[in-house]
């Protein structure tokens, strides 16, 4: 198997097709994080899956073309070094812990599979097929099955995702362009699993909950700046740079285990630079200014934290054949067939966040 530099040099493809990082939010998702076992044979097994993934998604998704099955495959810093060598995405590094009033932990994770569909069974079947290909080559670090909760609400009762960018704005926020031409069409993703203390949270008066979140609970209207605390969740996760709001795309989903009394939110944020999400986490856990931290963290604890790079779909498909990973992006290229539908022909960015938001488009199916 050739490394990323050899793959890139031998490519004749003029453009890269991104993975479906901006796929429409669905009712079900599986977040699967695995660690790569030592040994060249295990690396070869994962590399083979890279080239086979698109066909595998098509095969499972063909059972229901309306199920909108998709899968994003992403790699941690150490796994990238082992699987692909150089060149390496410019901003790929291990997740950086944040120590403040609360702690954003860093946890193991070499490969992320973000599986989405309107149907839980399609997500489950694809996850099963993926693991059947790489079982023995990897160990599972974390697996979370997310679900849509009533009208797009988190288990704490607030709508999650109001401010997500859509269409061209989503592409501008997530897809790498000229800033790293060798990996144009790629993206970065940070995942964290948060566990909620719902007993304590539900003891708070609704008015206090609203001040912590920065929005009304029932109507989902943002509080006026005159009454919204500077420590509100949506205030601290709004990043302005040179007069421009820096956005990310989130697909957070609730999860839980009633028997264990475990209730939480799986945060997943895509961005063209991880610095956007890292600044949000700094604001949340340390505070802006320091000490003015996100009070939601008094009731919601981060138990995982990992940073991954999402190479283009073209890169993945070419890994097994040693064809080049393209360095430019075709603005009219279709998303991988696993989406089972053509997306609008949106031009990808040639240069360009809020953890409290999640929903990109209305219209669950």
Region for residue 313 given its phi and psi (left: phi exceeds 0; alpha: psi -120 to 50; beta: otherwise): alpha
DSSP H or E stretch at residue 340: none
- Residue that is written with structure tokens 């073209």 in the block: 314
DSSP annotation of 365: -
Say if residues 280 and 98 touch (Cβ distance below 8 Å): no
CA dihedral for 296, 297, 300, 305, sign (positive or negative): positive
Q: Is 248 helix (H, G, I), strand (E, B) or coil?
A: coil
Catalytic residue among 160, 251, 294, 330: 160
* Among candidate residues 354, 307, 249, 341, the one with its CA nearest the CA of residue 112: 307
Backbone angles phi, psi at 35, to 5 degrees: -110, 145
DSSP H or E stretch at residue 293: none
Q: Is 152 a residue of the active site?
A: no
Query: Using CA atoms, how far apart are residues 270 and 260, in angstroms rounded to an integer?
Result: 30
Query: Using CA atoms, how far apart are residues 134 and 127, in angstroms rounded to an integer?
Result: 11
* CA angle centred on 170, ends 166 and 174, rounded to 5°: 165
Query: Using CA atoms, how far apart are residues 87 and 80, in angstroms rounded to an integer?
Result: 10
Say if residues 304 and 31 touch (Cβ distance below 8 Å): no
Q: Which residues are marked as active site? A: 160
């Amino acid at each position: 198997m050739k490394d990323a530099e050899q793959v890139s040099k031998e490519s004749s493809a003029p453009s890269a097709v991104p993975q479906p990082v901006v796929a429409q939010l669905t009712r079900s998702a599986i977040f699967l994080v695995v660690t790569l076992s030592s040994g060249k044979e295990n690396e070869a097994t994962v590399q083979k899956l890279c080239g086979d993934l698109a066909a595998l998604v098509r095969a499972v998704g063909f059972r229901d073309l309306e199920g909108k099955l998709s899968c994003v495959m992403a790699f941690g810093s150490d796994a990238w070094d082992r699987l692909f060598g150089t060149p390496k995405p410019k901003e790929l590094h291990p997740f950086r812990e944040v120590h403040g009033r609360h702690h954003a932990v860093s946890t193991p994770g070499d490969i992320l599979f973000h599986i989405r569909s309107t149907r839980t069974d399609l997500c489950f079947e694809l996850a099963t097929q993926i693991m059947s290909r790489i079982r023995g080559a990897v160990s599972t670090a974390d697996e979370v099955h997310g679900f849509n909760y009533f009208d797009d609400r988190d288990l704490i009762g607030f709508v999650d995702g109001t401010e997500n960018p859509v269409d061209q704005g989503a592409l501008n926020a997530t897809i790498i362009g000229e800033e790293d031409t060798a990996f144009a069409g790629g993206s970065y993703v940070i995942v964290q699993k948060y566990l909620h203390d719902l007993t304590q949270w539900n003891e708070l008066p609704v008015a206090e909950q609203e001040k912590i979140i920065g929005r009304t609970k029932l109507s989902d209207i943002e509080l006026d700046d005159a009454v919204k605390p500077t420590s509100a969740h949506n205030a601290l996760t709004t990043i302005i740079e040179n007069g421009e709001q820096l956005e990310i795309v989130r697909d957070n989903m609730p999860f839980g285990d009633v028997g264990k009394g475990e209730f939480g939110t799986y945060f997943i944020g895509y961005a063209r630079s991880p610095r956007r999400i890292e600044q949000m986490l700094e604001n949340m856990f340390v505070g802006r200014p320091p000490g003015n931290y996100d009070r939601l963290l008094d009731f919601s604890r981060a138990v995982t934290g990992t940073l991954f790079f999402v190479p283009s779909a073209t890169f993945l498909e070419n890994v097994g054949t040693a064809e080049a990973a393209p360095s430019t992006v075709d603005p009219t290229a279709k998303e991988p067939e696993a989406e089972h539908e053509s997306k609008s022909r949106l031009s990808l960015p040639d240069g360009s966040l809020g953890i409290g938001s999640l929903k990109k488009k209305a219209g669950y199916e």
